[in-house]
Structure 1
Amino acid sequence: MLNRTRPILFLLGILWTSLALMMVIPALADLATGQRDWKSFGVSAGVTLYFGLVLVFANRSGSDGARLDARQAFWFTAASWLSVSLIGALPFRFGGHLPTMADSVFETVSALTTTGSTVMVGLDAKPAGILLWRALLQWYGGIGIIMVSIALLPLMRVGGMQIFQIASIDQQDKVRPRAAQIAAATLLVYTGLTALSAIALGIAGMTPFDAICHAMTAIATGGFANYDASIGHYHSFAIELVLIVTMLLGATTFVLYLRVLSGEPMALWRDGQLRLMIGITAAASVAIAAYATVHKGIEPLTALRDSVFSVVSVITTTGFVTADYTTWGPFVILIMFAITFVGGSSGSTAGGLKMFRLIALYRITRANLHRMIYPRAVEVPHYADRMISPEVANSLLGFVTLWVGTWAALSIGLSATGLDMVTALSGSATALANVGPGMGDVIGPAGNFAPLPLSAKWMLSAGMLLGRLELTTLLVFLHPGIWRA
C-alpha cells in the first residue's frame, strides 16, 4: 500500500511546494505597495513549503519514474484539488479579508475551479497582494484543468472523455512526441496568450496591474475582477472587446493551438466544438439584443454590445459582468440560464457540460431516431471522424444523467438552508457549470454570494469542485472498490 501511495504523496509535495513559491509573488506586490498584508502570505508560504518539502523528501525513493494507474490518478486528482483548496484559503484567513473559513474556502475553490463566484466585498479598496492572489489562483487552476482534461480524464474514462484518447491524444502525439513536451508546449501557449491579452488590455486603457490580473482571469475563464462592478467599472468598449476575444480563446481546446503552430492553420475552423460555440453565441446575442431593443427600449448598439459580452462571459463560464441582464426581462433570463449549462470546449479552461457532449448526444439521438424509422439500416454515430462506440455513448448518457441529478440534489440542499427557488436553482447550476454569477437579487450579476448561509457556501464549494472535476472523479470515492489496496 505504501508503494502505491508514495508517488501520489511525492506529486502532492511538488504541488504544495509550487503553491508556496507562488505565494511569494503577492507578498512582493504588497511589499512594493507598502501593505502589511505581505505577512499573511509569508506565514502561509512558510507553512505550505514546510509540509510540501516533507512530502517530497519522505516519498522521493520509490517514486522516480513511477506511472500512476487509473486508481492512483483518481486519488491524486481528488487529493490535489481538495488540499490546494484548503491551502489557498490561508492568506484570506491570515490576512483577515474574509470572516470565516467557509468564506475563505469558498473564495479559493471558486478561484481554482475558475468559477468566479465571490464572497468578497469592497474589492476597490483591497490590497494589491490579495487581488493578485485571486488572479493567480484562477490562472493556476486554469492550466491545471487543461492538463487534467487532456491527460488524465481520457485515461480515467470520465464522462465520455475516453473518446479523446483517440480523437485528441493520438493527434497530440503527432504534434509532440512525448507527454512532457505536450505539457510544456501547452503551458507556453497558455502563458503566451496571457501575455498578449495583458498587453492588449494595457493598450485598451487598463493600468499594468489591472491588465495582468484581468488577463490571467480571462484566459482562465475565471471572471475574478479587481472591482465590485467587475468590467462595468471601466465603461470601455475597447477593454470589453479584448476580453471577449480572450474569453473565447480560453474556452477553445488548447490542443488546437499546438496543431496550428505545427502547420495546421485550418485546425481551428475544422473544430466542431468551436463552430458550435460561436454559433450559439451569435444566435443568443442577436436574440437578446433584439428583445432588449424592442421591449426595453435600449439603444440597439448598446443592447448588442452588452448582450455579446454577457453571452460570451456566460457560455465560456467566465462570469465577467458589464450589465445586469436579469433586468431585461424573462426571455433574456431564460436564455442566459439555458446557456449556463452549455460551457466551452473540452481541453479548455471552460466548465459546463462541454460542446463535444452536445454534439455527440445530438448524433447519438439522430442515429437512434433513424434506426426507429429504418430498422434494417446501419446508422453509426461519429464524432471527429471517429465512431462513437456503445461504451462511449453509455458513458456520455450516464454523465449527463448524473449531472442533472447532482444539480437537482444540490438545489434541494440549498433550498433547505432557506434560499429561495431562483437562488437555489441558479446557484447550484452556476456552481456545477463553474460559471460565476447566478440569477436573482442575491447572487445575480449585480449581487454577491456573501449573504448566503455558511452551510450553503460549503455546499456550493463542493458543487464547484464536483463540476470542475467532471463529477465522477470525486464521486468514485463513494465506491468501496476505490478503498481496497
Structure 2
Amino acid sequence: MRFRYGSNIGKLMVLLGCLMYVPLVVILFQPDQLRYAYAYLIPASASVALGLIVLYFTTPDEDKPQNYRAVLARSSWVVLFIWIWGSLVGAAPFALGLHMTFLHALFESVSGWTTVGLSIIDVGATPQIFMFHRCFMQYCGGLGFVLIMILIISNRDSMNLYDAEGHPDKILPSIRRTAQAIFLVYNICLVVATVAYMLAGLSFFDGLYHAMCGLSTGGFTNKLGSVGDFQSVPVEVITVVLMLVGATNFATLLLFVQGKWRRAFKTTEVRFMLGSLVVVTAVVSADLAIEGGLGLVEGFRQGFFSCVTAMTTTGFSICDFTTWPPAAVGVLIVVMLVGGGFGSTAGGLKLRRAYIMLRVMVQDVRRRVLPSSRVAPMYFTTAQGRNKIDPALVSNTMSMFVMYILVYLIGAIGMCMTSGAPLEGCLFEFASAFSSAGVSVGITSASASNGTLIIEMIGMLLGRLEIVVVFVGFGATWEYLKQWRRQRSRRRL
C-alpha cells in the first residue's frame, strides 16, 4: 500500500529527527552529559526512521489537487501534523532523561517549539544538555520547520507550506533563496548577539541561550529570575535590541542588513511599533513610578523593558509582575495580544492587523464628518512597497480579530475554571500563552492542574499557527477520515 501526499510529512519528520541530534553537541563541552545521550538518540532515531518509512510508502506526484481549497487544506494539514509531531518528539528527552510526566514534558516541548517561553521545570537543577535543548527548540521554532526544510529541499508545494506556517513575505524571486536569506540574517544576528553578551560579562552558554531565545522571541532562560538575575544594564540593553530585532518582519530586517535604513524606517510596522512602544512605555512607567512607588528611574527601567518583552512576545523579565499595579498589568495584556511584526518570530495578533483596524476606524469617522472628496484611499507600507487597504484585506483582518478575541476569552475563562485563579490573573496568563509572550504571574507551574496546562498548550499552538491553519488542518483531517470510511465501506460491499 502506498499513501498520497505524504512526502512532505516524511521529509519534515526526517528533518525534525536530525534537529533532535543537535543537543548532543553539548557533550563535547561537558562530557559528563553523556549519560543523557540516550534521551536524544532514541526519539531522534525514531523520527528519522519513521520519516524514511513514510517517504518509502508515499506517491508524491500522483493526483495532485489543483484547486485552491484542496491545496490550502493539504498544506494546513501537513503544517499542523509536523508541529504536533515535533511537540511529541521534543517532549521525549524530558520524559526519558528528567523523568517528567508525559503532560509536563509535552508542555515544556510545546512551549519551546512555539516560542512561548512558559516553563514548569526547575532551571536551577536542570542539566546543561536539557537547557540547550529548550533554547534550541525555541531557536528553530522561531524560523519554523517548513522554512528550515526549504533550505535543503524545495518542491512545488514549498510556497503553500511556507504560507501556511505563517511566513507572508517572499523576499527574493525564489522561495529557496528567500529561506536562505532569512536563515543567513537569523544566524548572523545570533553570532553578533552571543558575542555582545559575552563582552557584557556573560559566559558562553549564558550568552548563547539568551541570544537564541531573545532572537526567536521565545524567552526561555537558564536563570530563575530571567534576565533580572544578571543585574546588568548592558545585558538588558542588548536584550531589548535583540527582542526588537526578533519582532521585526524578516523582509524589513533584510533592508536594515543591506543598509537601506531609510526604506526600512518607512515601513508601517516599524513606525507603528516604535510609536506604540513610546506611548505604552510612558503610560506603564508613569503608573509604576506613581502608583507602584518605584520612582521615575526604576519605573522607566522596569516599564520600558517589560513593554518591549510584551510587545515582542518574548517573555524575558527583570521584575515580579505580581507586585505591579492593575493598570500597568492591563496595559501589558493589551500589548501582548497585539504582538510583533507580521512575518517575524513574534506572536500575537500582529502590528499590521492592529494598524489596519485603527485606520479603518479612523476612516469610518472621517466618512461620517467629511465630504467624500476629502476621504482618501488607505495604504500601508511594507518592505516590498505600498499596499492598498482594500475591502478583502479589511474583511480578512476583522475575521482574524474576531476569532482571536473569541479564542482568548474562551481560553481565559477555561483557565479560571481549571486553576481557581482570579479572572485578572487568568486573562494575563492565557494572553501570555496565546500570544507567545511567556511571562507569568505564577499560575503556570509544575503544581498547576492538568486542565490548565492543556488549555495553555492549545492556546500556544493556536497562537503560533494563527488559528485558521489549525482549524483548516483539523477540518482536512476530518474530511480525509470520512473519505477513508466511505472507501472502506465500498470495498466491503
TM-score scaled by structure 2? 0.86
Match of 2:55 in 1: 56
Alignment match of 1:73 (pick from 72, 75, 80): 75
- Which deviates more, 138-147 or 189-198? 138-147
Instruction: Tell me the distance in 1 between the aligned counterparts of 2:94 and 2:165.
Output: 36
Structure 2 counterpart of 1:72, which letter?
R
Match of 1:298 in 2: 294
RMSD of equivalent CA atoms: 2.9
Instruction: Tell me the distance in 2 between the aligned counterparts of 1:305 and 1:84.
Output: 37
Deviations 1:336-393 (A, max 9, x none): 2221211010111000111000111112222223333357556533222322222221
C-alpha deviation, 1:434, in angstroms = 0.9
Instruction: Tell me the distance in 2 between the aligned counterparts of 1:270 and 1:376.
Output: 28
Match of 1:380 in 2: 377
Q: Is the 8 A contact 2:77 2:474 kept in 1?
A: no
CA, structure 1 residues 435+34, in 2 after alignment: closer, same or farther (shift >3 Å)? closer
DSSP 3-state at the match of 1:323: coil
Query: Is residue 458 of structure 2 the alignment partner of residue 459 of structure 1?
Result: no
Query: Is residue 20 of structure 2 the alignment partner of residue 20 of structure 1?
Result: yes
Query: Is residue 263 of structure 2 the alignment partner of residue 264 of structure 1?
Result: no
CA, structure 1 residues 364+61, in 2 after alignment: closer, same or farther (shift >3 Å)? closer
Instruction: Tell me the distance in 2 between the aligned counterparts of 1:435 and 1:34.
Output: 31
DSSP 3-state at the match of 1:394: helix
CA, structure 1 residues 285+265, in 2 after alignment: closer, same or farther (shift >3 Å)? closer
Q: Is the 8 A contact 1:319 1:436 kept in 2?
A: yes
Alignment match of 1:245 (pick from 241, 248, 252): 241
Alignment match of 1:430 (pick from 429, 432, 446): 432
Instruction: Tell me the distance in 2 between the aligned counterparts of 1:331 and 1:263.
Output: 40
Q: Is the 8 A contact 1:16 1:52 kept in 2?
A: no
C-alpha deviation, 1:156, in angstroms = 5.5
- Which deviates more, 194-203 or 2-11? 2-11
DSSP 3-state at the match of 1:297: coil
Q: Is the 8 A contact 2:247 2:340 kept in 1?
A: yes
Match of 1:39 in 2: 38
C-alpha deviation, 1:244, in angstroms = 0.6
DSSP 3-state at the match of 1:70: helix
Unmatched segments (≥5 aa) in structure 1: none
Deviations 1:106-142 (A, max 9, x none): 1111111111111112x12311100000000000100
Q: Is the 8 A contact 1:26 1:130 kept in 2?
A: no
CA, structure 1 residues 366+220, in 2 after alignment: closer, same or farther (shift >3 Å)? same
C-alpha deviation, 1:329, in angstroms = 1.5
Structure 2 counterpart of 1:215, which letter?
A
Within 5 Å, give how 1:315-334 maps onto structure 2: 315-334=311-330
C-alpha deviation, 1:432, in angstroms = 1.2
Match of 2:6 in 1: 6
Structure 1 counterpart of 2:379, which letter?
H
Alignment match of 1:183 (pick from 179, 183, 196): 179
Instruction: Tell me the distance in 1 between the aligned counterparts of 2:84 and 2:405.
Output: 23
Instruction: Tell me the distance in 2 between the aligned counterparts of 1:197 and 1:187.
Output: 15
Query: Is residue 194 of structure 2 the alignment partner of residue 195 of structure 1?
Result: no
Instruction: Tell me the distance in 2 between the aligned counterparts of 1:237 and 1:381.
Output: 41
CA, structure 1 residues 289+251, in 2 after alignment: closer, same or farther (shift >3 Å)? same
Instruction: Tell me the distance in 1 between the aligned counterparts of 2:260 and 2:138.
Output: 30
DSSP 3-state at the match of 2:224: coil
Q: Is the 8 A contact 1:37 1:127 kept in 2?
A: no
Instruction: Tell me the distance in 2 between the aligned counterparts of 1:2 and 1:390.
Output: 44
CA, structure 1 residues 363+151, in 2 after alignment: closer, same or farther (shift >3 Å)? farther
DSSP 3-state at the match of 2:239: helix
- Which deviates more, 9-18 or 273-282? 9-18
Alignment match of 2:470 (pick from 455, 467, 474): 474
Instruction: Tell me the distance in 2 between the aligned counterparts of 1:466 and 1:263.
Output: 36
DSSP 3-state at the match of 2:338: coil
DSSP 3-state at the match of 1:331: helix
Instruction: Tell me the distance in 1 between the aligned counterparts of 2:146 and 2:297.
Output: 36
- Which deviates more, 420-429 or 270-279? 420-429
Instruction: Tell me the distance in 2 between the aligned counterparts of 1:222 and 1:266.
Output: 29
TM-score scaled by structure 1? 0.87
Structure 2 counterpart of 1:305, which letter?
R
Instruction: Tell me the distance in 2 between the aligned counterparts of 1:481 and 1:33.
Output: 44
Query: Is residue 308 of structure 2 the alignment partner of residue 307 of structure 1?
Result: no
Query: Is residue 399 of structure 2 the alignment partner of residue 403 of structure 1?
Result: no
Match of 1:136 in 2: 136
CA, structure 1 residues 297+118, in 2 after alignment: closer, same or farther (shift >3 Å)? same
Deviations 1:77-123 (A, max 9, x none): 1111111011100000001252x1111111111111111111112x1
DSSP 3-state at the match of 1:383: strand
Instruction: Tell me the distance in 1 between the aligned counterparts of 2:103 and 2:394.
Output: 38
Q: Is the 8 A contact 2:75 2:161 kept in 1?
A: no
Instruction: Tell me the distance in 2 between the aligned counterparts of 1:308 and 1:107.
Output: 28
C-alpha deviation, 1:9, in angstroms = 2.7
Q: Is the 8 A contact 2:23 2:132 kept in 1?
A: no
Unmatched segments (≥5 aa) in structure 2: 149-157, 484-493
Q: Is the 8 A contact 1:26 1:133 kept in 2?
A: no
Query: Is residue 235 of structure 2 the alignment partner of residue 236 of structure 1?
Result: no
Q: Is the 8 A contact 1:315 1:339 kept in 2?
A: yes
- Which deviates more, 369-378 or 382-391? 369-378
Query: Identical aligned pairs, as a percentage?
Result: 27
CA, structure 1 residues 254+238, in 2 after alignment: closer, same or farther (shift >3 Å)? same
Structure 2 counterpart of 1:397, which letter?
M
CA, structure 1 residues 60+186, in 2 after alignment: closer, same or farther (shift >3 Å)? farther
- Give the count of matched residue pairs: 462
Query: Is residue 283 of structure 2 the alignment partner of residue 287 of structure 1?
Result: yes
